[in-house]
Structure formats: structure tokens, C-alpha cells
């Protein structure tokens, strides 16, 4: 036993040493274009992020099948930042400095993005960030393909205020205590007050990450709603906590016709983990739903299901964001004729993609997309019925006009601004 | 025991310190990129991070390996030290934040805070932040340890309440109302002592500082371990009641080790933050603290060099495996822990000792 | 049946007699046209018509089974193989089958859904099914419009089921609050004052605050309000206590297996959470097997089958773990932490590889869905109640096993004095393996229960592991009674604090309290006494 153990250990040590040496070697330049995939495959965020990793692998596979990019094959470099925020920064550095990837597709939580942001700015990398987020940011090294608050939260609230939405008068803003819900609720509060909602008709509630016992809060919501005015819940509850929340909601007999719940982080993938028969009618606001009917979307769904070899797998909004982001990046690379970051960035502005949502998504000079806003009601089969959508694509605000400090700021990376958070352009016009 | 180090030990310590503190910067600066000897830029903060983890492992080894106190909340002291440094770095940003406020960090502007809370005062001074990075964890350890050791909370009970401590702090720091940036924590640092944190020279400087701190920590631990107090601690670990009956103050001895250890962990945290560029509440998570214990166990509990080796090995393996085997690395790491416990009860240092003993 | 038809006929003549053409036949196709607002109007008109033939179409619309066909007509569609089977919305006549893509499902939204519910309420008040009548009466109380008065009077006169009668009466009172003479209105207020229902409270508040209402009516409403408020407050307190017990039982279930592997055997089992996870995934697998191979109405029975399956699955993994790793580590308690942590990482990743990272859906069986209100303002969800009961059953079973069986005797002997037990001829190794298997198996059963209220994901175990250790240590290592007391105390305190301090601060306070408590009683609530206490 001892001898055997010894041998194994010795092998292990040798292996580890060899590995350390191997890691220190600079990667050899190859005839491929590398893209980094920086999504957690383990830890708490793996639930959501694994799917996005697979989405990028599918897109890479697709582009290679069509002959690659600039005559080269595209190679995905997958790493696992393990839902550990400092590790995100370390892995980002590894992808950019060691693997020399042309672009990185990754991150889900705001804190992971904040953690890698200095790395991308220092090493001049490109990050495509596919998740709806709080805005208040525009980095020249990040393209934000998810929704900003004005592309999700405000239209949803406007819908609920309308006659079709049930003329809601009283609001519960329930969220997980972190920056996205805080920002969204701050914007919504300002918006609601501007619309004449009284402060006593707004209840704000924050819960910790992974909150699992929702009895008290659901009871509170019921109590708040029993005051006689039509009440709705605006939920910015994050990932993991949603399943117990919705289960509690369903069992507490809260029907969508009584107290509708509109969520910004619950899509098809999250619903696949919940029995939705008792949640019919609750809402979600996104820029894409799987139930959208058009040829691009059917192709997208088919491509995904055959890639993942599971005809039941669903598509969702962040996946569509990655689809748009990856397509745009390949187009920009072709246009620039190179994967060099500065050239690609310039080529990104104005880039258009026919998105599965049925609209044309366009990249703006504030590094955010123009996308449509859709509001869906949950069906019994875990899909959404689209009950309202914008006429056209809405341009994302990097800086919210509803927050006093940020309303002054402008994000525009084209001449003469060339800035993500400025109150005046960087360059003065030469004519004057 | 007796002497602080054997002559050979001194040579080894100074030698490895020099290799790390001088060799790494030289390997990074001198050879041309691409040459086999060149140490790429991205490795420098990585190695600096390992050095910080090694200090942290040393600090836990001091209390666990020598005094038998298994703290499953040592990450809390590390994180507190990190937050102190993070607060200083935030204050250094000054008006360069996105909202351009001269004093308040961005997240405070955003949460409509009008002035700096009292506990942020003074952190604009480096010396104050550095002092606090040691004092805050030390004071917490003193208060916590005083009550716990006086009440003779031992063994697994102590482990669990230290876990409760770090878990409570995790939840507290998550709260945006606390004034520490909530889940996002503190990030987007610009410079430290006037040097931009992203510059290569600053990185190397921080790395050298970390290695120096590691060397100093090692010596301090060695000093404690080799002293009479160290022998009392060992005795406490092996038979606490007997030591007490012999008239030694078990509480004071443990308290000293615990506070010293927490202070070291605080220093490690303070050095860690500028190198990774972010400090946030996840550092308080109980899982992180358990991992520290695992580094020590893998390296070899009760040997200082083992703690350092364990921190390096486990973290190196993690860095490497998450890159090359993103879907399988947890199997490899998990198996490593099982194999080490089953076959190497004294860690890799024990293995080395066994090899040595076998040599003629 | 006859009663229903009589009343339907009665209503029919009352409301629709002057029309010669069939207004229903005109209205139903309109459900397929226009926006949600137009359809909601049509639904309201259908309700006002009072013609029971509309019920089928309205229900189909609510269930998403009403479709428009290529020619613009409307039909009720039932899925049949690849296509759909169509039926006439009014007569139910078979319209044959057609391909699924030739018909368009009529989409609805919440506004339309509410209009349908109101219309169905008006129509179903004379339904032969008492549950439907009850729902209709509740619907009427929700939106007490004067038009309902007549129908409610008639329904009340014919009603025999007490629960429905009570609901009808409060609906009637709610209607009378706004119409009728002062005396009638005051009587209505008095009739309503016995209710314990936030909805009634709102109605009364409206009366009490209405400026045009006579003073005596307002005063009566005030009195009624006060008594309702008082009862609601009591109900609220009862609800908080129940929530506390419910949380306590969740904590207890999560911790009880650990109380055996850690408390009794001294193994710091960091893989305990993963045993819970294995149990939850077993529930998922059993559910999928039932869905695939059994008729739909038997699927709900998956839960009773999942409990023993989860016990076995987790127990087998536990025994393998004990034989493969832990048995080499007895006496080195802290090192079990390291090994089991490694195992926990591997188990998580294994589940992630096999089942995928996203959450898995485990449905509540119908009998565990929803809940009831013993009194208004105090809601008990069936799944929560079931978990409380299950938790005590499990605890009782373990106590019986440990106290009343030879195996239990051996377990206690081995934990108290291993060498002596060995000397007495007890097969120590086998007892170790079986004890660890028992603890793991219980964790597996807990997993089935937890799958009913939370997510089934590879991280499931991590959610409960810290709490489980807190409970066991707080209660006192080695004492099942302590674990019970610990879990219930923590659960109730948490729930009492949460409304006051909020979820986060409440939890911090509880953790701080545990730390302070351990200083006072370093061995937990129920400290072991005697020799065993010296560790």
C-alpha cells in the first residue's frame, strides 16, 4: 500500500512540475484564430454559464464549417473561471497574454465583468458580454450585447401600467442585493415616481444570493397586495434563488391575474427547471424569446438542438446575445481583414445582424446594441407567449437618464467624443 | 529546535528568497519575449498571488499545525486585510471615477451617499491603511479568540463558529448598505503609492514585496515555533488539559498565536488586492476558508515549509487545470485531496522526508 | 343536473329572451379577432349573456386550446398525435383532425385571463360541480358588481353545500355594501365582520372612508374593521410561527443525516450536502421514469417511490465512501474534512457531467400543490406541511432504529467505546459502514423533500452544508434531540427576525447569536455528559 501510494505521489509531483514548466512556455503561433470562452463551468454560476459556453462552441463550429475566417480555422479556447471572481481576472489575463486570443466571449455576473475589466483595458482585449445588466458602464474593450435597463425594465413597467397590462398601481420591487437589482430598482423608482406613483405604493425588498426560504417575502407580497390596488412584482431576483421563489409563489396561490410577477432574469432556461403549470401568466421582459416565429429563429433553434444533441433543449436571450455578438465579430473581422483589436473595434460600429428575434440588431458607438423589447407571459409548457413588443429596435442607454449623476454622461467611441463616460467631447472640432 | 534555523536552513531560505525576489524580475525583464528563459508578464501577478496565499497558509498552519486550532474562518482575516488595502486604493482613485466625484467612490455616489462614512476616514493615507490591514484582523481575532478560548471552545465547535464568523461577515459585506461596495466589492484601482497598478514595474515591485513578506512571515513563524511558547503551543495541541493543569495559561498562548496569525493573514490580504485588482465578499465564503486548510494539509500540517508548498501546489494545479481541463479539473483536484489524505497523512513534505530517509 | 338546467333556462329567459338570432354564435368567432382588449370585451359579454354553452369555449380559451382556423372560424383543439382534433366551440361537434400548423392558437394575456375568469364565474355560479360554484362565488366577492345581485340571490336560494353557501353569502354581502338601503348595508357590514379576510377588510375600509356614506354606516364599518384587523394580526403571527416550524423542519431534514455521520460517528462529512443532492437527483430520475412509462394519472405517485429510491441511492454511495475512504481515517477527524471535501467536489462535477449544469425540473405532485387557509391571512402550503410531517416521521424512525433495534444498540455501543464493542464481538467495521449508509440515506431522503421547494442543481448540497453544520453544533454534537431543538429554534428565530430586520440582517443576527451561544455553552444546547464529553 505504502509503496503504491508513494509511486502515485511521485508521479503526481513530477506531473505537476512538468505542468508548471509547460504552462510557462509561450504558446506557439498557429494557423488558427483563437477566441476565448470565459464562462464558469463549475460553482454557482455554472447553471447559467455552461449553456453560453456551448453556444460559442456551436458558433465556432458553424463558422469553421463554412470555411473559417480569413481563410483560417477558428479555435475556441475554453477555460473555467469556476464562479470565482479573482479567478476570472486571472483567466482573462491568461487568455489574452498567453493564448493570445482575438476576442473573448464571457462573463455573466456584473462582478465578474468588473473583475476582468481592468485586464481587458490593460492588455487591449475584446470582451463580448451577453447578459442583461445594470448599464452605467462603457468600456472601449467591451461590447455589451445584453440589454441595458431601458431595453428591459422600463418597457416592462410601462406595459404593466397600460390597460393591457392590468393598470398596475402598486409595485413590489424585489431583487437580490447586488448592483444590477439596485441599479434597476433605482431607475424604476425614479421612473415610477415620475409617473405619479406614491412612495407608499412602492415596496423594495432585497434578499441575499441563493436565498432559499421565500415564505416571509411571499407572505409580505400578499399582504402588500391586499391593500386593494392592483399590484405587480418586478423581480430582479438572481438565477439560483428563482426556483424556490417561483415554487413558493405557485404554492401560495398567487395567480398572475391577481399579482403578476415580471422578471428580468428568468428565461426559457430557468423555466426548464420549474414546473410552470401553476405560473401561467407571470411575465418576463427580454429582447428575444424562443417562441418568436421567423425563419432565422427556427434555424437558430434547430442548429442549437442538433449541436447539443437534445431536441428538448431551449434557447434563451443571453444565447441570442452571444449569437449576435459572435456574428458581428466575424463580420467585423472580415471587414477589417484582420483580427487586430483596434481594427476590429472600428469595424464593429454600425455592424448589423439579422437576429433570431426577427429584428435587425445593430452595434452602436456606445458599445451597446439596438434591440427590440418583448414582453412574454409564461405558458404551461415553459415557453413564453409574446404579449407586447416594440415596433422597432431600441437603442441601449449606457448611462441612464433617470440617475442624476449619470444623466450627464455620454458614451460615444466615435469622433469627436471617443469616450465612455464624458461630459464633453475629447476632441474639439478643427473647423472652429 | 532551539536555534532559529540550522545554517543549511538559513542558506536555503536566503537562496530561495533571492531566486524568487531577484530571479523572477530578471527573468521577466531581461530575456527577449519568446525565449525559453523569459517569464511572461502574466505570470508575475500570478506568482505574487501564490506568495500571498502562501503567507495565508503559513498563518493557518501556525494555529492549526502548531496550536491545534482549526480555524475555518481564516479567509475572513485575509479578506479584512484586503478590504483595508482596497479602501486605500479606492481613495487613491480620487476624481478619476466614472462619476468624477472628488472624494466618494463610484458606488457611494451611485447609492446617493452624500459624504464619506466615518469608517472610511483616514484610508487615504497609505500608512494608515497598512496599519489597519494588520490591526483590524488582529483586533477581531483578539475579541473573538478571547471569548472563545476563555470559554474553552475547542475542536470542531471552534471550527464551526469560526465558519459562522466568516459566513456572517460574508452576508454583511454583501449588503450594499454596509458601504463596502456590496457584491461587486472594490475594484477599478488606479495606482498605489503613486505608481500605476497595471505597470510592469509596479507588478514586479508588488511581487517582490509579497516574497519579502512571505520570507518575513516564515521567519516570524519559525521564531514563534522554536521558542518556548512554540513548545507550549505544541503541548496544547496534543493535550490541552494537561498543559492547563501544569499551570500554563492556555488561553493566552492560544490567543497570542491566533492574533499573530490573523495579522499575518491580514497582511497577505493587503498584498493580494493590488495584484488581483479586486476585493469582494466572496473572499469571505466558507468554502474559501476550507480551501486554506486544504492547502496546509496537502503541504503537510505542522511544518512551515509544508504550508508554503501546499499553497503553491494546490493553487498552481488549479490555475493550470482550469485552463487545460476545464470540465475535468474538479475530478483531478478532488482526487488529489483524497489521495493526499489516504496515502500522505503528513502531506508532500512528509513524502519528501520519507524519500530523504530512504537515501543511504 | 336538473337544477342547473332549470336555472340556466331561467337566466336564459331573463337575459336573452328578446334576441331571436343566437348571440352566442355571433360572439364566439369574435374571440379570435382583434387585440386583447377586444377579446376581453367579448369575454365580458359572454359572461353577461349567461348562456352556459359559452363555458366550454371560454375554458378552452383560458387553457390555450381555442384556435382559429384558416377560414377565420374558431374551434376547440385537442392535441392528437402529430395533428390536432378539432371540435365545434358551442356544440362540441367533431370537426375532424388537421395538421397542427393549419390552425393558430388564440393567445391570451393576464387581462383577458381575468376577464375569462370573471365571465366563467358568472356562468359557473349554477354549475353542478360544487368546487366550480365555490370558485365562482369567490370570484364574485372579488369583483362585487351590482349586476351580480340577482344571480347571487338565486344561487343562494338553491345552494346546499355549506362552504359554498358561506362564500355566496359573503359575496352577497359584498355586493350589498354598495347597493341597497342603509339598513341592508349595515346588515351587510355586520355579516362581513365575522370574516377574517384582507379582501373583506378592504371593502369595509372603503365604506368606512367613503365621504358620502351615512355616519352610522361608517361607524359600523369601523367596528367591523377593528375586529377583523385584530384577527388578521393573530393570523399573521400564526403564519410566522408556521413558517418558522417549516424552515426548522427543512433545516432539520438537511442536518439530520449529518447528525449521524458527524454527530455520532465524528466524521466531518463535507460531502453531506452532495448526499442530499444525490437524493434530489434520484427524485428527478424516478419522476422521469414515471413520466416515460406510466399513465399520466400515475405520475404523481412518483414521490412515494422516490423516497426509498433516494434512500438506497444515497446510502449505497455513502457505504462505498465509507469503505473506500473514510474507514482509513477514523480517529483523524479533521482529515476526514479534507478527503470528504475532495469527494464533494468530484460528486458535484460528476452530476454536472451526467445531468448537465442547468437546474432540473422536479414537479410538485397535484396533492402537494397549492395550500389552504385555516383562517384568512394564515396560509399553509401543502408542500410545506408535507415536509414538516415527513421530517417528523424520519426523525421518529431514526429514534426507533437507534433505540429499539439491535443495530441501534450496536451503533451506540461502537460510538461509545469502540474497542470494548469490538471485544464484545460486534462487527465494528460493518456497523461503521451501515451507520454511515444510514446517515447518507437520510440525507438522500431529505434531498427528495428539498426538491419539492427548491432547485435541483449540482450546487444543491452547497446551499445546505453550512446551515447543517450550524444546526448540529448548535444543538449539541451527538444528540438527535439537540439537532431537533437546534433546527426548530434557528428556524423560528430566523422567521421572527426576518419581518423586522430583513432576510440578510436576520441571518447575520442568528449567526452572531450562535457564536455567542457557543461561548456560553461550548458543547451546544444538549451537551453530552460524562466520559463521552471529553474529546
| Per-domain boundaries in chain C | 20-112, 127-213, 235-365+379-534
| Per-residue pLDDT at A4 exceeds 50 | no
Q: Do A248 and C453 count as a contact with CB atoms less than 8 A apart?
A: yes
C-alpha span between C50 and C61 (Å, rounded): 17
Q: Kindly report the nearest CA distance between residue A376 and chain C, in angstroms.
A: 9
For residue C456, which of C231, C306, C329 has the smallest C-alpha distance?
C306
Please state, in angstroms and rounded to a whole number, the distance separating the CA atoms of residues A368 and C380. Answer: 46
Cell numbers given for C58: 371560454
- Are A262 and A233 in contact by the 8 Å Cβ rule? The answer is yes
Quick one: pLDDT at residue C22? 79
C chain contacts of residue A177, beta-carbon cutoff 8 Å: 504
C-alpha to C-alpha distances, A46 to A43, A123, B324, nearest whole angstrom? 6, 27, 18
User: What is the average per-residue pLDDT within B147-169?
Assistant: 91
Cross-chain Cβ contact A115/B277 below 8 Å: yes
Q: pLDDT for A74-117, tens place per residue?
A: 999 999 999 999 999 999 999 999 999 999 999 999 999 999 99
- The interface predicted TM-score of the complex, written ipTM, equals 0.92
Is C425 in the B-facing interface, judged by CB distances under 8 Å?
no
CA angle A110, A112, A113 (to 5 degrees): 65
Question: Above pLDDT 90, what percent of chain A?
Answer: 74
Question: B242 — contact with chain C (CB < 8 Å)?
Answer: no
The residue ranges of DSSP E strands in A63-132, in sequence order, are 73-79, 103-106, 127-129
pLDDT at residue number B41: 86
**Hey, of C349, C454, C468, C496, which one would you mutate to test binding to chain A, going by the most A CBs within 10 A of its CB?**
C454
Q: Which residues does chain C have within 8 Å of residue A174's beta carbon, measured at their own beta carbons?
A: none
Whether B239 is covered by a domain: the verdict is yes
Going by pLDDT thresholds of 50, 70 and 90, the confidence category of residue B359 is low
CB C304 within 8 A of CB B299: no
Q: Quick one: pLDDT band at residue A125, thresholds 50, 70, 90?
A: very high
Indicate the number of domains in chain B.
Answer: 1
pLDDT of residue A430: 63
Residues in chain A with CB shorter than 8 Å from the CB of C463 are 210, 212, 240
> Which whole number is the average pLDDT over A383-408?
92
Full-model pTM: 0.90
Nearest to A196 by CA among A172, A174, A168, A175: A168
Quote the pLDDT of residue A201. 95
pLDDT at C262: 87
Answer yes or no: are the C-beta atoms of A416 and A367 closer than 8 Å: no
Cell of C490: 434557528
* Secondary structure of C477-489 as H, E, C letters: CCCHHHHHHHHHH
Does residue B163 belong to any structural domain of this protein?
yes
CA distance A320 to A356: 7
Neighbours of chain C (3+ CB pairs under 8 A): A, B
The whole-angstrom separation of Cα A421 and Cα A411 is: 5
Residue among B193, B142, B156, B167 at smallest CA distance from B283: B167
**Residues B265/B221, Cβ–Cβ less than 8 Å:** no
Residues of B in contact with A78 (CB under 8 A): 326
- Picking from C104, C509, A364, the residue whose alpha carbon sits closest to that of residue B171 is C509
Q: Do C364 and A251 touch (CB under 8 A)?
A: yes
The answer to whether the CB atoms of C514 and B164 lie below 8 A apart is yes
Residues lower than pLDDT 70 in chain C: 1-21, 528-535
Who contacts B134 (Cβ-Cβ below 8 Å, separation ≥6)? B81, B263, B266, B267
Helix (H) or strand (E) holding A378: strand A374-378
CA gap B25, B63 in Å, rounded: 33
Contact C143, C118 (CB under 8 A): yes
User: Is B1 part of any domain?
Assistant: no
SS3 category, A176: strand
* Res B3: pLDDT: 59
Question: What is the average pLDDT across B77-86?
Answer: 97
The parent domain of residue B158 ranges over 7-358
| Side-chain half-sphere exposure of B81, counting CA atoms within 13 A | 29
Contact A382, A272 (CB under 8 A): yes
Residue B165 reports pLDDT greater than 60: yes
Among A47, A165, A275, beta carbon nearest to C357: A47
Q: What is the mean pLDDT of residues A309-335?
A: 96
Answer yes or no: is pLDDT of A429 > 70.
Answer: no
- Tell the burial category of C246 from Cβ atoms under 10 Å away from its Cβ (0-12, 13-18, 19+): buried
Lowest mean pLDDT among A161-170, A265-274, A392-401, C75-84: C75-84
A109 vs chain B: nearest CA distance in angstroms?
A: 9
- Whether B157 sits inside 8 A of C353 (CB atoms) is no
pLDDT digits over B6-57, tens only? 778 788 888 888 888 888 888 888 888 777 788 888 889 999 999 999 999 9
Strand partners, A157: none
Search chain C and give the residue with CA nearest A254.
Answer: C370
Closest by CA to C524, choosing from B163, B161, B244, B67, is B161
Which three three-digit cell numbers place residue C374? 385555516
pLDDT band at A372 (very low <50, low <70, confident <90, very high): very high
Q: Which of A20, A89, A186 sits opposite B316 (nearest CB)?
A: A20
Closest CA to C188 of C201, C172, C199: C172
The 10s digit of each residue's pLDDT in A177-231 is: 888 898 899 999 999 999 999 999 999 998 888 888 999 999 999 989 988 789 9
* Residue in C with minimal Cα distance to B172: C508
For residue A29, what pLDDT band results from cuts at 50, 70 and 90?
very low
Strand partners, B186: B279
Facing B320 at nearest CB: one of A19, A137, A179: A19
pLDDT confidence of residue B1: 42
Contacts of A281 in chain C (CB under 8 A): 109-110, 113
- Cross-chain CB nearest to C499 (options A43, A216, A380): A216
A86 lies within 8 A of chain B by CB: yes
Residues counted in chain C: 535
> Distance (Å) from the C-alpha of residue C61 to the closest C-alpha of chain A?
13
Residue C218's pLDDT is what?
A: 85
What CA–CA distance (Å, rounded) separates A335 from A351? 10
Which 3 state secondary structure label does DSSP give C507?
helix
Interface subset of B 103-122, CB within 8 angstroms of C: none
Q: Is residue B331 part of a domain?
A: yes
Residue among B40, B184, B323 whose CB faces A79 most closely? B323
CA A255 to chain centre: 28
Number of H helices, E strands in chain A: 13, 18
Judge whether residue B258 has pLDDT over 50: yes
B192-197 LR contacts (CB < 8 Å, sep 24+): B192/B89, B192/B92, B192/B126, B192/B274, B193/B126, B197/B89, B197/B274, B197/B277
Q: What CA–CA distance (Å, rounded) separates C236 from C38?
A: 41
More confident: A352 or C502: A352
Of the candidates A397, A391, A46, the one whose C-alpha atom is nearest the C-alpha of residue A239 is A46
Are the C-beta atoms of C273 and C343 separated by less than 8 Å? no
Domain C235-365+379-534, what fold?
ABC transporter involved in vitamin B12 uptake, BtuC (1.10.3470)
Q: What integer pLDDT is reported at residue C503 of this predicted model?
A: 84
Peptide bond into A416 cis (omega under 30): yes
Q: With beta carbons under 8 A apart, name residues in chain A contacting C283.
A: none
Cell of C31: 374571440
Amino acid at each position: 500500500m505504502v509503496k503504491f501510494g508513494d509511486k502515485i505521489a511521485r508521479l503526481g509531483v513530477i506531473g505537476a512540475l512538468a505542468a508548471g514548466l509547460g504552462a510557462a512556455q509561450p504558446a506557439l503561433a498557429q494557423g488558427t484564430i483563437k477566441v476565448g470562452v470565459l464562462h464558469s463551468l463549475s460553482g454557482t454560476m455554472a447553471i447559467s454559464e455552461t449553456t453560453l459556453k456551448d453556444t460559442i462552441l456551436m458558433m465556432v463550429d458553424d463558422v469553421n464549417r463554412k470555411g473559417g475566417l480569413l481563410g483560417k480555422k477558428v479555435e475556441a479556447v475554453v477555460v473555467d473561471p469556476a464562479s470565482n471572481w479573482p479567478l476570472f481576472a486571472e483567466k482573462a489575463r491568461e487568455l489574452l497574454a498567453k493564448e493570445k486570443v482575438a476576442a473573448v466571449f464571457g462573463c455573466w455576473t456584473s462582478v465578474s465583468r468588473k473583475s476582468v475589466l481592468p485586464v481587458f483595458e490593460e492588455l487591449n482585449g475584446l470582451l463580448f458580454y451577453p447578459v442583461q445588466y445594470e448599464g452605467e458602464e462603457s468600456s472601449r474593450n467591451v461590447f455589451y450585447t445584453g440589454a441595458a435597463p431601458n431595453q428591459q425594465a422600463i418597457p416592462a413597467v410601462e406595459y404593466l401600467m397600460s390597460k393591457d397590462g392590468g393598470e398596475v398601481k402598486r409595485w413590489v420591487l424585489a431583487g437580490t442585493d447586488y448592483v444590477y437589482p439596485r441599479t434597476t430598482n433605482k431607475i424604476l423608482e425614479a421612473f415610477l415616481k415620475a409617473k405619479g406613483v406614491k412612495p407608499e405604493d412602492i415596496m423594495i425588498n432585497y434578499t441575499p444570493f441563493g436565498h432559499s426560504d421565500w415564505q416571509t417575502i411571499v407572505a409580505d407580497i400578499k399582504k402588500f397586495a391586499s391593500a386593494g390596488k392592483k399590484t405587480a412584482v418586478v423581480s430582479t431576483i438572481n438565477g439560483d434563488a428563482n426556483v424556490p421563489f417561483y415554487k413558493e409563489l405557485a404554492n401560495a396561490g398567487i395567480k398572475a391575474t391577481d399579482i403578476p410577477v415580471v422578471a428580468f432574469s428568468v428565461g426559457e432556461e430557468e423555466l426548464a427547471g420549474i414546473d410552470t403549470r401553476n405560473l401561467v401568466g407571470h411575465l418576463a421582459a427580454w429582447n428575444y424569446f424562443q417562441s418568436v416565429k421567423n425563419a432565422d429563429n427556427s434555424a437558430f433553434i434547430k442548429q442549437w438542438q442538433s449541436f447539443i444533441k437534445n431536441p428538448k433543449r431551449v434557447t434563451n436571450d443571453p444565447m441570442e446575445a452571444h449569437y449576435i455578438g459572435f456574428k458581428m465579430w466575424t463580420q467585423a473581422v472580415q471587414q477589417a481583414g484582420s483580427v487586430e483589436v483596434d481594427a476590429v473595434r472600428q469595424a464593429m460600429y454600425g455592424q448589423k445582424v439579422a437576429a433570431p428575434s426577427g429584428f435587425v440588431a445593430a452595434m452602436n458607438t456606445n458599445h451597446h446594441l439596438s434591440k427590440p423589447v418583448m414582453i412574454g407571459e409564461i405558458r404551461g409548457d415553459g415557453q413564453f407567449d409574446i404579449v407586447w413588443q416594440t415596433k422597432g429596435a431600441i437603442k441601449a442607454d449606457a448611462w441612464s437618464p433617470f440617475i442624476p449623476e449619470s444623466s450627464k454622461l455620454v458614451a460615444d467611441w466615435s469622433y469627436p467624443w471617443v469616450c465612455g463616460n464624458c461630459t464633453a467631447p475629447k476632441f474639439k472640432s478643427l473647423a472652429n | 529546535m532551539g536555534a532559529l534555523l540550522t545554517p543549511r536552513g538559513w542558506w536555503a531560505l536566503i537562496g530561495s528568497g533571492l531566486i524568487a525576489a531577484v530571479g523572477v524580475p530578471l527573468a521577466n525583464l531581461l530575456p527577449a519575449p519568446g525565449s525559453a528563459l523569459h517569464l511572461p508578464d502574466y505570470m508575475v501577478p500570478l506568482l505574487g498571488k501564490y506568495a500571498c496565499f502562501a503567507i495565508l497558509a503559513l498563518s493557518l498552519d501556525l494555529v492549526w499545525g502548531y496550536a491545534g486550532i482549526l480555524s475555518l474562518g481564516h479567509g475572513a482575516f485575509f479578506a479584512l486585510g484586503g478590504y483595508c488595502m482596497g479602501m486605500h486604493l479606492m481613495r487613491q482613485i480620487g476624481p478619476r471615477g466614472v462619476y468624477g466625484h472628488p472624494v466618494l467612490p463610484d458606488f457611494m455616489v451611485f447609492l446617493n451617499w452624500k459624504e464619506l462614512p466615518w469608517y472610511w476616514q483616514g484610508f487615504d493615507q497609505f500608512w494608515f491603511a497598512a496599519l489597519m490591514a494588520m490591526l483590524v484582523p488582529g483586533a477581531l481575532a483578539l475579541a473573538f479568540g478571547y471569548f472563545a478560548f476563555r470559554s474553552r471552545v475547542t475542536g470542531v465547535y471552534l471550527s464551526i463558529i469560526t465558519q459562522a464568523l466568516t459566513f456572517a461577515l460574508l452576508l454583511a459585506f454583501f449588503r450594499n448598505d454596509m458601504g463596502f461596495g456590496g457584491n461587486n466589492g472594490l475594484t477599478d484601482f488606479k495606482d498605489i503609492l503613486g505608481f500605476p497598478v497595471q505597470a510592469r514595474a509596479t507588478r514586479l515591485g508588488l511581487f517582490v514585496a509579497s516574497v519579502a513578506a512571505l520570507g518575513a512571515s516564515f521567519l516570524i513563524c519559525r521564531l514563534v515555533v522554536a521558542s518556548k511558547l512554540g513548545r507550549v503551543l505544541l503541548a496544547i495541541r496534543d493535550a490541552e488539559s494537561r498543559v492547563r493543569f501544569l499551570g500554563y495559561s492556555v488561553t493566552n498562548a492560544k490567543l497570542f498565536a491566533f492574533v499573530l496569525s490573523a495579522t499575518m493573514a491580514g497582511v497577505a490580504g493587503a498584498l493580494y488586492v493590488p495584484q488581483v485588482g479586486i476585493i469582494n465578499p466572496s473572499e469571505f465564503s466558507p468554502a474559501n476558508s476550507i480551501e486554506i486548510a486544504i492547502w496546509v494539509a496537502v503541504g503537510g500540517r505542522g511544518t512551515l515549509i509544508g504550508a508554503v508548498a501546499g499553497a503553491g501546489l494546490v493553487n498552481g494545479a488549479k490555475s493550470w487545470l482550469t485552463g487545460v481541463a476545464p470540465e475535468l479539473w474538479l475530478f483531478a483536484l478532488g482526487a488529489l485531496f483524497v489521495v493526499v489524505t489516504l496515502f500522505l497523512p503528513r502531506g508532500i513534505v512528509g513524502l519528501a522526508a520519507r524519500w530523504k530517509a530512504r537515501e543511504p | 343536473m336538473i337544477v342547473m338546467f332549470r336555472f340556466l333556462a331561467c337566466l336564459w329567459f331573463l337575459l336573452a329572451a328578446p334576441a331571436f338570432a343566437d348571440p352566442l354564435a355571433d360572439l364566439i368567432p369574435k374571440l379570435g379577432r382583434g387585440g386583447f382588449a377586444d377579446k376581453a370585451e367579448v369575454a365580458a359579454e359572454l359572461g353577461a349573456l349567461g348562456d352556459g354553452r359559452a363555458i366550454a369555449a371560454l375554458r378552452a380559451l383560458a387553457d390555450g386550446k381555442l384556435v382559429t382556423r384558416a377560414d377565420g372560424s374558431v374551434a376547440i383543439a385537442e392535441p392528437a398525435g402529430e395533428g390536432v382534433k378539432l371540435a365545434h366551440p358551442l356544440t362540441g361537434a367533431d370537426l375532424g383532425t388537421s395538421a397542427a400548423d393549419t390552425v393558430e392558437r388564440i393567445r391570451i394575456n393576464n387581462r383577458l385571463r381575468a376577464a375569462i375568469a370573471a365571465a366563467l364565474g358568472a356562468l359557473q355560479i349554477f354549475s353542478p360541480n360544487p368546487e366550480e360554484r365555490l370558485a365562482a362565488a369567490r370570484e364574485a366577492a372579488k369583483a362585487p358588481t351590482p349586476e351580480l345581485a340577482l344571480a347571487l340571490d338565486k344561487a343562494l336560494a338553491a345552494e346546499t353545500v355549506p362552504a359554498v353557501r358561506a362564500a355566496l353569502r359573503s359575496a352577497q354581502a359584498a355586493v350589498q355594501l354598495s347597493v341597497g338601503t342603509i339598513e341592508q348595508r349595515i346588515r351587510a357590514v355586520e355579516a362581513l365582520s365575522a370574516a377574517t379576510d384582507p379582501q373583506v377588510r378592504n371593502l369595509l375600509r372603503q365604506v368606512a372612508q367613503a365621504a358620502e356614506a351615512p355616519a352610522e354606516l361608517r361607524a359600523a364599518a369601523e367596528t367591523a374593521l377593528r375586529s377583523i384587523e385584530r384577527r388578521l394580526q393573530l393570523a399573521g403571527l400564526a403564519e410566522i410561527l408556521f413558517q418558522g416550524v417549516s424552515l426548522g423542519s427543512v433545516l432539520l431534514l438537511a442536518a439530520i443525516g449529518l447528525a449521524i455521520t458527524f454527530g455520532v460517528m465524528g466524521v466531518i462529512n463535507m460531502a453531506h450536502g452532495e448526499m442530499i443532492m444525490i437524493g434530489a437527483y434520484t427524485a428527478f430520475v424516478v419522476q422521469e421514469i414515471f413520466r416515460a412509462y406510466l399513465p399520466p394519472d400515475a405520475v404523481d405517485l412518483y414521490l412515494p417511490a422516490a423516497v426509498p429510491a433516494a434512500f438506497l441511492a444515497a446510502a449505497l454511495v455513502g457505504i462505498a465512501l465509507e469503505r473506500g475512504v473514510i474507514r482509513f481515517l477514523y480517529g483523524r477527524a479533521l482529515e476526514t474534512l479534507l478527503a470528504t471535501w475532495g469527494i464533494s467536489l468530484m460528486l458535484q462535477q460528476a452530476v454536472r457531467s451526467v445531468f448537465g449544469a442547468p437546474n432540473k425540473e422536479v414537479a410538485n405532485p397535484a396533492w402537494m400543490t397549492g395550500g389552504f387557509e385555516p383562517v384568512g391571512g394564515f396560509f399553509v402550503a401543502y408542500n410545506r406541511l408535507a415536509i414538516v410531517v415527513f421530517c417528523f416521521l424520519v426523525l421518529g424512525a431514526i429514534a426507533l432504529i437507534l433505540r429499539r433495534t439491535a443495530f441501534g444498540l450496536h451503533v451506540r455501543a461502537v460510538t461509545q467505546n469502540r474497542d470494548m464493542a469490538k471485544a464484545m464481538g460486534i462487527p465494528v467495521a460493518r456497523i461503521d459502514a451501515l451507520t454511515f449508509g444510514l446517515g447518507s440515506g437520510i440525507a438522500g431522503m431529505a434531498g427528495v423533500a428539498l426538491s419539492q421547494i427548491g432547485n435541483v442543481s449540482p450546487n444543491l448540497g452547497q446551499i445546505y452544508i453550512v446551515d447543517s453544520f450550524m444546526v448540529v453544533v448548535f444543538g449539541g454534537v451527538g444528540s438527535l434531540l439537540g439537532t431537533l431543538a437546534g433546527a426548530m429554534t434557528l428556524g423560528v428565530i430566523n422567521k421572527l427576525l426576518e419581518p423586522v430586520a430583513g432576510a440578510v440582517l436576520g441571518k447575520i443576527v442568528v449567526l452572531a447569536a450562535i457564536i455567542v451561544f457557543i461561548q456560553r455553552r461550548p458543547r451546544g444546547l444538549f451537551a453530552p455528559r460524562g466520559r463521552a464529553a471529553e474529546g
